């Protein structure tokens, strides 16, 4: 039997509790990971609230990113062996002592990174890399505006963009969060509570605008994102807490020769996720042992028994970086 985080019905953080169930067994193409730490994501919160059901066939247990040790492998697994230290993007099931993960979604623990530190990485790394560099085609020498710069997605985007040669700007909701963004490499951070980010981007870029906007807000922000774009600019949206329905001036879209992308990571196939993992291992993972341009940004660490407190902190938006659970 293994321990895991369960909830009987959707609700607030208080519905989360530790329960027991049989351990999963790896399928032919899966690695079974003995979980030591797991990242907390907004997707976990939405699923707990009843607003983000897992895709068909995925584990109903919360948790999309883990770090630990390979405990067993399926018969068709070729790379991983029992005892390997790894992190992984899961298809669910990370809030448990053991989780079975498709082998292509598993990555090695970078040299010099602890289990807790690397547990903060997979979900953000897959999301940011795919949206910034594959979909929005951010290139060295270009610029990007990152909304929610102090979030897990935001801090990762700032570091990945600057590490690969782009110039990053960010928005955040307090002076403390703006300062954190700048310490991580943002050329400037804009407090959206006290300043108009559209006007600030125009000033900071001397009227040129940015090449890419990474939006985790949705709603009315999308129209304002278009005002921030340079010619041939791109907006890539990964979340929509401000709403799904938007009103756009297509004249502005045409005048900027702009494009808008939207994507969701969790429903995608294991093959698609494995392709992102290969890109990460080629372009991002070699930079991690330096702990220079890309560093772990951990807000707080909670024992799994305090998972309700971890979810409450995430929902309060008081965090800078990632919240991590550990057994």
pLDDT digits (tens, 9 = 90+) for 310-323: 999 999 998 999 99
Q: Over 90: is that where the pLDDT of 251 sits?
A: no
pLDDT for res 245: 85
pLDDT for res 241: 82
Report the number of distinct structural domains present in the chain: 2
pLDDT for res 93: 97
Q: Which of 262, 277, 305 is the last residue of a domain?
A: 262
Verify that 182 and 96 share a domain, yes or no: no
Kindly indicate the confidence band of residue 139, based on its pLDDT and cuts at 50, 70 and 90: very high
List beta partners, residue 143.
Answer: 167
Kindly indicate the confidence band of residue 250, based on its pLDDT and cuts at 50, 70 and 90: confident
pLDDT digits (tens, 9 = 90+) for 84-136: 999 999 999 999 999 999 999 999 999 999 999 999 999 999 999 999 999 99
List beta partners, residue 67.
Answer: 37, 87
pLDDT digits (tens, 9 = 90+) for 155-211: 999 999 999 999 999 999 999 999 999 999 999 999 999 999 999 999 999 999 999
This prediction has a pTM of 0.95
List beta partners, residue 222.
Answer: none
Verify that 203 and 239 share a domain, yes or no: yes
| β-strands 98-102, 85-89 pairing | unpaired
Q: Which of 236, 262, 288 is the last residue of a domain?
A: 262
Give the start-end residues of each E strand in the chain.
2-6, 17-21, 30-39, 65-73, 85-89, 98-102, 106-108, 143-146, 167-172, 188-191, 210-215, 229-237, 259-262, 298-303, 322-326
CATH code, domain carrying 106 = 3.90.180.10
pLDDT for res 308: 98
Verify that 73 and 159 share a domain, yes or no: no
In the block, residue with structure tokens 């291992």: 281
Listed as own residue / partner, the contacts of 249-253 with beta carbons closer than 8 Å and 24 or more positions apart are 249/223, 252/223, 252/226, 252/227, 253/226
Verify that 198 and 71 share a domain, yes or no: no
Per-position DSSP letters for 35-59, written without gaps between them: EEEEE--HHHHHHHTTSSPPPTTS-
Q: Over 90: is that where the pLDDT of 229 sits?
A: yes
pLDDT for res 248: 85
pLDDT digits (tens, 9 = 90+) for 261-283: 999 999 999 999 999 999 999 99
pLDDT digits (tens, 9 = 90+) for 23-58: 999 999 999 999 999 999 999 999 999 999 999 989
Verify that 173 and 85 share a domain, yes or no: no
Return the higher-pLDDT residue of 243 and 325: 325
Q: How far apart are the first and last CA of the chain?
A: 15
Q: State the sign of the Cα–Cα–Cα–Cα dihedral 273, 156, 197, 133.
A: negative
Verify that 91 and 134 share a domain, yes or no: no
Q: Over 90: is that where the pLDDT of 247 sits?
A: no
pLDDT for res 318: 87
Verify that 204 and 300 share a domain, yes or no: no
pLDDT for res 246: 83
Verify that 289 and 302 share a domain, yes or no: yes
Q: Over 90: is that where the pLDDT of 79 sits?
A: yes
CATH code, domain carrying 242 = 3.40.50.720
Verify that 197 and 164 share a domain, yes or no: yes
Expressed as residue numbers, the domain containing 219 is 125-262
In the block, residue with structure tokens 């009103």: 247
Q: Contact, 135 vs 120, CB < 8 A?
A: no
Verify that 41 and 105 share a domain, yes or no: yes
Structure tokens at 94: 């990370």
Give CA separation, 211 vs 135, 198, 208, 217, 323, in Å.
13, 14, 9, 18, 30
Q: Which of 219, 244, 262 is the last residue of a domain?
A: 262
Verify that 24 and 95 share a domain, yes or no: yes
């Amino acid at each position: 039997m293994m321990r895991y985080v369960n909830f009987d019905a959707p609700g607030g953080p208080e519905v989360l509790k530790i329960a027991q169930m049989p351990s999963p067994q790896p399928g032919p193409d899966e690695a079974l990971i003995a979980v030591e730490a797991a990242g907390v994501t907004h997707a976990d919160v939405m699923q707990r609230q009843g607003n983000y059901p897992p895709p068909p066939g995925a584990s109903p247990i919360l948790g999309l990113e883990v770090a630990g040790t390979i405990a067993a492998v399926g018969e068709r697994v070729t790379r991983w062996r029992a005892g390997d230290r790894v992190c992984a993007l899961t298809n669910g099931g990370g809030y448990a002592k053991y989780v079975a993960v498709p082998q292509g979604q598993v990555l090695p623990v970078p040299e010099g990174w602890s289990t807790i530190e690397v547990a903060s990485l997979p979900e953000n790394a897959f999301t940011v890399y795919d949206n910034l560099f594959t979909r929005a085609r951010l290139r060295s020498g270009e610029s990007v505006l990152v909304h929610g710069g102090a979030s897990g997605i935001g801090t990762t985007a700032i570091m990945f963009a600057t590490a690969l040669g782009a110039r990053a700007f960010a928005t955040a909701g307090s002076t403390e969060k703006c300062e954190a963004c700048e310490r991580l490499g943002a050329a400037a951070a804009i407090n959206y509570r006290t300043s108009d980010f559209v006007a600030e981007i125009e000033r900071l870029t001397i009227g040129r605008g940015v090449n890419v906007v990474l939006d985790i807000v949705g709603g009315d922000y999308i129209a304002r994102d278009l005002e921030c774009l340079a010619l041939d600019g791109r907006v890539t949206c990964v979340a929509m807490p401000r709403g799904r329905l938007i009103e756009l001036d297509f004249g502005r879209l045409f005048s900027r020769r702009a494009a808008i992308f939207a994507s969701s990571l969790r429903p995608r196939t294991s093959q698609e996720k494995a392709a992102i993992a290969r890109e990460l291992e080629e372009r991002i993972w070699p930079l991690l042992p330096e702990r220079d341009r890309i560093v772990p940004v951990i807000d707080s660490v909670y024992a799994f028994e305090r998972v309700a407190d971890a979810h409450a902190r995430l929902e309060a938006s008081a965090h800078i970086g990632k919240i991590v659970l550990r057994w």
